[in-house]
Structure 1
């Protein structure tokens, strides 16, 4: 399958005019930013960003003459207060790893449309099956394709979806910087797209069952003290996620009453989950279920294609 046909599929999935495959997720971020911003411009971004993107915004863009400000996305008026006369672009990620938070796009969309700002959304952790940002006011959508889109953990690629004019500009930067994807990565992506819808549907269903089970453990004052999953009514962004998302995704986070020691002990006993440290667990959203430790005694679960009963049984024996 050719690069062009894969791009067409991606554009159709995200409901955009055009799409482009690049070498990595960060290549997609970087080439998009330097395509849409010029020296003297101001970028307004959510504080909830993955570390690599945050570093690029804090260090590389200022070196190119772009001013960057970060906003707490829970303070809806903060977006407007941070606007300057040189603001050209608003950037956010939703959902957010590892907190599972979901950004309310409504105030950002209103602001961007009122002032004529470009709105760029990294929707990697939702996939276009669960969330299509252009339907909620975004102009450009980004994905790290090695997460859900590839789905098998064997290819690196990034995706930019938007208007044909924007994609053409990003393509020019991609070629200038040598950020074209490897042909094998495009082939892996083509394979992953064939099963994307069924994989995500399965992950949505299984994650909800596992999250509900974990919530019951927390209510019974067991080893788990709190569960964070957008599909649960207790999640702070449940209403927003339910309104904007088709499914609530595969990412679950929960806190252990025993802190980091208890989290480490739990991970050491798991048998069905692939246990990885948080930094190396980059190819998530695939067929494998992955568990990793976070700070302050929290655990992140990325649900794969295992049955819910299998994963709950594994968590049960590990907690015992």
Structure 2
């Protein structure tokens, strides 16, 4: 029975990773597709490959996810908690994808795991210091990305102020091929590890293993799920990210991609989970503001920001309810 329940956890975690892939693919390639630096199908294949490579490269974020919210070894019903968290996070991802809102898969997973832990073991089971570190990273990273995107765009405007717009756009359209690949790689290094972390959390809770070291099969499965999800693509979110925030030109897309990828990679190297969606969107907003403040569609930006703020509270509540249902119906 325990193996069957663990199989359910793995299935749900990989489903979350797959959905995360097609939900967040748009974030990594929206700028390069909207400026026609890459054809959509080429961009998606490239993103899938680079997501896989990135996912296979690091595991530090997985360990933070697996132990930052709560200690799985202390939970007698840890597997049940993980199932509730994953159902909640998947539901939120599908809802926001359906409405074309680039919300955060990371926020959804963190909020859901916290809500399920509270429902299953009480608030005392939450790792307060680890949770604070994770929330700090989730809050600060978009602000840093906005500043980095804004700064990059100001520098590029100054350097190319007297150059021919046609030549500049042609050159940066080529550059976007590289930055979109870097963006996709960085996405894989951070986002795919969240599924790895949640599976490892369940393995420790079920006493299958003693440490938060990610098994190779978990790493490979999560990387493949992310890559397959990426290959499906998320066209509704590409439309929002690539056309509705502001009119993106190749130089803007280049600045936004390189800025956000640097922020994500820095977070990965210090083992902190960040919302790649928030980081990429904030970088785009920073670049748009540097281009011309009035050129940004702040109405659309406002809707996205509202989604950011409501994700964690809503998913905490959703996961609490899902756990209650599972606990009363199946246990």
TM-score, with length taken from structure 1: 0.24
Query: Which one scores higher on RCO, CA 8 angstroms, separation ≥ 6?
Result: 2
Specify which structure has the higher proportion of strand.
1
Specify which structure has the higher proportion of helix.
2
